[in-house]
Amino acid sequence: MAKGSLTLDIDQDTAFRLEIAARTGGEAPDAFAARIFAEAVEAAYWAPAEASFAEYERTGVSYSVEEVFSALTARLSEKQGQGS
* 31 close to 22: Cβ distance less than 8 angstroms: yes
Calculate the dihedral angle through the C-alpha atoms of 38, 41, 42, 43, rounding to the nearest 10 degrees: 120
**Would you kindly state where each structural domain of the chain is located, as residue ranges?**
12-83
User: Could you read off the pLDDT of 25-59 as tens digits, one per residue?
Assistant: 999 999 999 999 999 999 999 998 899 899 999 99
- Taking CA atoms, 40 is separated from 36, 37, 69, in Å, by 6, 5, 29
* 24 close to 16: Cβ distance less than 8 angstroms: no
Most distant CA pair in the chain, distance: 59
pTM above 0.75, yes or no: no
